[in-house]
């Protein structure tokens, strides 16, 4: 199950379960209060019967001054729970029938525990029903997501033939016409589509569990080496200590390549790209044009330049979330941009 599916399942479960739990809690509280009232009524009835025959082992008897308490009423205090009854032919005394407060609290505790056990059992049943309901509600979403992924995979596969034809014909034209700006633009457009195709393929796969351990410095050197030949006017520097990371390599390639590619494409003439590691934070800093709205750059289709379609950094953010990498960007116009990746899997 994908991360977005798990998130949807948990949200549906929590929403349904909590709403039912609150309702059940209110109902059980009302029922608990009724049980207490019923117990008080039963206790008073026992006292009343006892006042006639005085045969009540569970209750205690005493005589008190008459007119001090109201008859046929249950009294509660810290010492006892009592009721008072008249005595025939007695002008000074009345009969007190009572139980100790400790005995009363033990009975209340028993009622409370029984109600709590019932509530927990019902809550467990509600949790199971909530889970089944959430899975059922998630089913159409999963089907739609699967259909969308299959559709994207089919499109990506169908890209291969026209892209291969474009690359072959542009190569043939380049041989015939040598260097030509129009051919160069065609090659750049084809490469952009190829990069997008690679990013989408990486995004469609589940990378959370497909981890491998590799050297971070060696990895970064390889990514920079594959890029700097196309940007000979830029200066690349890597200040990273020897350490390993345990992460999905393919997805991490897509993240680093996108950030480095942007740092190179939107840099100044004779600019710099610096890669440094401080603790677990990997900084990629460029001396480029800067970004007007850094908070929007991860939004799908947002772009500030004519080049690209505004989806690369959106995919970077999604991949970082999947890889549990915290990503942050700081930028100033005409001064440059710094991307910071919090790598939690450094060894």
Give one DSSP letter per residue of 160-187, joined into a string.
HHHHHHHHHHHHHHHHHH-S-HHHHHHH
As a whole number of angstroms, the distance between CA 155 and CA 57 comes to 86
Q: Where in the chain is the domain with CATH 3.30.565.10?
A: 210-342
CA dist list (Å): 206 to 4, 80, 214, 260:
11, 67, 19, 23
Phi-psi label, residue 24: left if phi above 0, alpha if psi -120 to 50, beta otherwise: alpha
The count of C-alpha atoms lying within 13 angstroms of the C-alpha of 254, restricted to the half-sphere facing its C-beta, is 29
As a whole number of angstroms, the distance between CA 237 and CA 233 comes to 13
Q: Identify the residue whose tokens are 């006017």.
A: 233
Q: Per-residue pLDDT for the chain (347 aa), expressed as one digit of tens each?
A: 666 778 888 888 899 999 999 999 999 999 999 999 999 999 999 999 998 888 888 899 988 887 778 888 999 988 999 999 888 877 788 899 999 999 999 999 999 999 999 999 999 999 999 999 888 888 887 777 777 777 677 676 677 777 778 777 777 777 777 767 777 777 777 777 777 777 667 666 655 557 889 999 999 999 998 888 778 889 999 999 999 999 888 889 889 988 998 899 888 888 999 999 999 999 999 998 888 888 888 887 777 776 666 677 888 888 888 888 999 999 998 889 999 999 988 88
* 3-state SS class at 231: coil
Longest dimension (CA), the chain: 133
The CATH class given to the 210-342 domain equals alpha beta
The count of C-alpha atoms lying within 13 angstroms of the C-alpha of 218, restricted to the half-sphere facing its C-beta, is 8
As a whole number of angstroms, the distance between CA 326 and CA 265 comes to 24
β-bridge pairing 272-278 and 281-286: antiparallel
In 205-248, which ranges are continuous DSSP H helix? Answer: 216-228
- Cβ-based neighbours of 134, under 8 Å, separated by 6 or more: 9, 12, 13, 16
Backbone phi, psi, residue 231, to 5°: -135, 65
């Amino acid at each position: 199950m994908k991360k977005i599916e798990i998130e949807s399942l948990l949200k549906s479960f929590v929403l349904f379960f909590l709403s039912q739990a609150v309702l059940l809690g209110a109902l059980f509280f009302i029922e608990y209060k009724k049980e207490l009232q019923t117990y008080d009524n039963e206790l008073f009835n026992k006292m009343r019967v006892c006042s006639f025959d005085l045969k009540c082992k569970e209750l205690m008897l005493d005589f008190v001054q008459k007119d001090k308490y109201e008859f046929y009423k249950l009294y509660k205090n810290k010492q006892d729970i009592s009721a008072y009854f008249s005595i025939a032919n007695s002008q000074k005394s009345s009969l007190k029938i009572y139980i100790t407060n400790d005995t009363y609290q033990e009975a209340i505790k028993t009622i409370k525990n029984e109600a709590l056990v019932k509530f927990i059992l019902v809550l467990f049943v509600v949790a199971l029903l909530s889970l089944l309901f959430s899975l059922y509600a998630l089913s159409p979403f999963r089907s739609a997501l699967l259909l969308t992924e299959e559709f994207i995979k089919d499109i990506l596969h169908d890209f291969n033939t026209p892209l291969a034809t474009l690359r072959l014909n542009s190569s043939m034209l380049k041989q015939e016409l040598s260097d030509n700006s129009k051919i160069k633009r065609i090659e750049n457009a084809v490469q952009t589509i190829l990069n997008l195709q690679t990013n989408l393929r990486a995004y469609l796969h589940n990378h959370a569990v497909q981890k491998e351990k590799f050297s971070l410095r060696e990895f970064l050197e390889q990514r920079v080496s594959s890029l700097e030949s196309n940007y000979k006017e830029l200066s690349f520097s890597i200040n990273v200590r020897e350490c390993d990371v345990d992460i999905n390599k393919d997805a991490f390639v897509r993240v680093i390549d996108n950030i480095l590619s942007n740092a190179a494409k939107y840099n100044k003439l004779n600019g710099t790209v610096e890669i440094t590691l401080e603790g677990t934070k990997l900084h990629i800093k460029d001396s480029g044009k800067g970004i007007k709205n850094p908070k929007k750059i991860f939004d799908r289709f947002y772009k500030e330049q004519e080049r690209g379609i505004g989806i690369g950094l959106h995919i970077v953010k999604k991949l970082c979330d999947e890889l549990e990498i915290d990503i942050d960007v700081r930028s100033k116009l005409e001064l440059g941009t710094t991307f910071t990746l919090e790598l939690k899997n450094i060894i």
